[in-house]
A and B are shown apart, each in its own frame.
Chain A
């Protein structure tokens, strides 16, 4: 079992999200912030598209040889004095991490931002077993205070307004002066810095994710802006890296290519502030750094995606560009998707991880506008893969009955051109008579999903094919 899912209630989630004024205000800010900044840095790098191709080829090569690169990576970590642990699923990964924490006698662990940690529901498991996890990324810290999951893979608190955050800080930071001014984002940031600085220094174990693992050197990489990830992994005695199998890249040169497209696609930066390469524990003569370095490598269904129609999804580097450019994400935000990964990448990944029977709405709730694929730094064909999920659903008869019958009826005529022309001609002729004066319908019995929100333009009259034939006969 992983994090709890409300994906089956996507429609209800979306309905509530559309009526949540705070959320809609926050989402209004997402839209232009991310999109314009990304475009500006992309425009400054003429090689950007060539780098996308390069990045895609690197990951394709790596995935095709993943077993061999993982073996090499493991060997190199061990040579550097680190330990590698493999976990088949979420439960195994949680167990491994708890075990390491227990051996270290850990009471509190600081955490850098990690989506895999969300995926395996790590915090709840640690807490239930007497270990207190402290999220240190500002956004993650905020949502931890609220007992919420992230609504975005790189900006976890993007669904909140500063007024909401202020009220959370006042609720939780009761040791601070209640009359302090927290009206500006800067003062909230300063307060979080002060509170978390103490946690960093007191933590027994630090847990981070990894943006990449490098086979050549046995290195894990984190890419951050705040510096929290570095404090998390540098100060405690034990550093645990939690990463999934597809984070692998062969060499330092390879990761350099992908780093160029990552920050630009994610936050519109030329380079994130901190790109940190970690290789093993503290060495002889080192004055700082962890004494133990563990890597927990998680599969959790990913190896099943190799060699199949969803393999391309394993190229994903979690930049968030797809959701930043998604009209559906803009409308309903990340929580509506109901599990860890929202937006287009979530619509492809979530059914793999929790089952298409639970997450079937996600690949369906897309207009296929293709903007996600057009900005994906790894050129993942996201709409195509959402369509593959629809195919799986269709094969398993998971499509809702009215939709199935409607499409079936339409298909029946579309496959019989003569009958189609006859029937549609009659239908359009009568519809046009009904709608002639206004030119549109306020409601139609078979199209309530449409006419509840907008008018339906009336047909002009005779079909084009009928009129064309008439015209040809007259000529």
Chain B
């Protein structure tokens, strides 16, 4: 079904989505296909960020080399995560700086890698989506997407086109949720304090649903909200934009939604 001019997109689904919440991957694929892309999913594991941030550059490089090879054939590489897209587009070049063989390839991959929502709006020029979602939502700006990739207006723009949805801004939406990858486990107590501040502000919005663009942050916030007995439902923004909200929200059972 390849059509002349149809962009060929390699979906980098991210390890968390692959393992924990595949429905985000399908929502991403639908959004991309609706926007006229041909979506393919090459064999993949992880972007290597945990190793990179742990100071293990050798492992980070080995995993990155794997990703570079797997995604070479595509016009674009798109990830439903600012964090993983940022790892590829900002940090892969840093990992291979000075490597005559891999630096050009890392730079080439970096240049064609995007976070999902900003790819839809900034590259494909998507102005609106044909989705329906009844209720009030609030939105958390995940750190890597916001500060490494400048994602702020894009999700709000597309959410504005969802029928039935109204967005209430979250106070201090740009403040970290306290996830930080292994930080959340290594410094669980501090992470807990930070996420508790976040969930308190989420509560103040009175929104029924919390959205964000990174599953790591979403698991952290959902995990805290559920532990606190909150009724706020937590979803990846792509699920709402794709109109694919049949699956139970993050951290909720099949019946409870």
CB-based contact A453/B176 at 8 Å: no
CB-based contact B223/A457 at 8 Å: yes
Q: Could you give, for residues 121-142 of chain B, a 1 whenever the CB lies within 8 Å of some chain A CB and a 0 otherwise?
A: 0000000000000000000000
Check if B253 is an interface residue, CB within 8 A of chain A: yes
CB-based contact A367/B52 at 8 Å: no
CB-based contact A452/B253 at 8 Å: no
CB-based contact A367/B185 at 8 Å: no
CB-based contact B182/A403 at 8 Å: yes
CB-based contact A327/B144 at 8 Å: no
Bound CA–CA A11/B56 (angstroms): 23
The verdict on A460 contacting B23 (CB below 8 Å), with A370-B144, A393-B55, A437-B255 known, is: yes
Inter-chain contacts of A392 with B (CB < 8 A): 55
Check if A86 is an interface residue, CB within 8 A of chain B: no
Check if B173 is an interface residue, CB within 8 A of chain A: no
Inter-chain contacts of B181 with A (CB < 8 A): 367-368
CB-based contact A452/B20 at 8 Å: no
Check if B220 is an interface residue, CB within 8 A of chain A: yes
B166-189 at interface with A (beta carbon < 8 Å): 174-176, 178-189
Q: Could you give, for residues 208-223 of chain B, a 1 whenever the CB lies within 8 Å of some chain A CB and a 0 otherwise?
A: 0000000000011011
Check if A180 is an interface residue, CB within 8 A of chain B: no
Q: Could you give, for residues 37-75 of chain B, a 1 whenever the CB lies within 8 Å of some chain A CB and a 0 otherwise?
A: 000010111101011111111010011001000100000
Which secondary structure characterizes the binding site on chain B? Answer: helix
| Closest Cβ–Cβ distance, residue B102 to chain A (whole Å) | 16
CB-based contact B63/A428 at 8 Å: no
Check if A379 is an interface residue, CB within 8 A of chain B: no
Bound CA–CA A456/B256 (angstroms): 16
A421-475 at interface with B (beta carbon < 8 Å): 421, 424, 427-428, 436-440, 442, 447, 449-450, 452-465, 467-468
CB-based contact A411/B248 at 8 Å: no
Inter-chain contacts of A410 with B (CB < 8 A): 46, 50
Task: Tell me how many residue pairs across A and B have CB atoms closer than 8 Å.
Answer: 224
Inter-chain contacts of A252 with B (CB < 8 A): none
CB-based contact A411/B18 at 8 Å: no
Check if B112 is an interface residue, CB within 8 A of chain A: no
Bound CA–CA A442/B103 (angstroms): 44
Check if A18 is an interface residue, CB within 8 A of chain B: yes
Residue ID in chain A nearest B49 by CB atoms: A368
Q: Could you give, for residues 4-33 of chain B, a 1 whenever the CB lies within 8 Å of some chain A CB and a 0 otherwise?
A: 000000000101011111110110010000
CB-based contact A403/B21 at 8 Å: no
Number of residues on chain B facing chain A (CB within 8 A) = 75
Inter-chain contacts of A373 with B (CB < 8 A): 147
Inter-chain contacts of A437 with B (CB < 8 A): 253-255
Check if B191 is an interface residue, CB within 8 A of chain A: yes
| Closest Cβ–Cβ distance, residue A101 to chain B (whole Å) | 42
Inter-chain contacts of B44 with A (CB < 8 A): 417, 465
Number of residues on chain A facing chain B (CB within 8 A) = 70
B141-161 at interface with A (beta carbon < 8 Å): 143-144, 147-148
Inter-chain contacts of B193 with A (CB < 8 A): 18, 331-332
| Closest Cβ–Cβ distance, residue A139 to chain B (whole Å) | 25
Check if A374 is an interface residue, CB within 8 A of chain B: yes
Inter-chain contacts of A399 with B (CB < 8 A): 54-55
Bound CA–CA A409/B74 (angstroms): 30
Inter-chain contacts of A388 with B (CB < 8 A): 55
The verdict on A369 contacting B190 (CB below 8 Å), with A414-B48, A428-B19, A439-B252 known, is: no
CB-based contact A328/B20 at 8 Å: no
Inter-chain contacts of A436 with B (CB < 8 A): 253-254
Bound CA–CA A196/B174 (angstroms): 42
Query: B43 touches which one: A15, A394, A418, A450 (CB < 8 A)?
Result: A418
Chain B interface residues toward A at CB < 8 A: 13, 15, 17-23, 25-26, 29, 41, 43-46, 48, 50-57, 59, 62-63, 66, 70, 94, 143-144, 147-148, 174-176, 178-195, 197, 219-220, 222-224, 226-227, 247-256
Pairs across A and B, CB under 8 Å, 28 listed: A11-B187, A14-B189, A327-B175, A327-B176, A365-B187, A367-B178, A367-B180, A371-B143, A390-B53, A394-B56, A403-B182, A407-B51, A410-B50, A414-B48, A417-B70, A418-B43, A438-B252, A438-B256, A439-B249, A439-B251, A439-B252, A440-B226, A440-B253, A452-B192, A454-B192, A460-B23, A464-B26, A464-B41
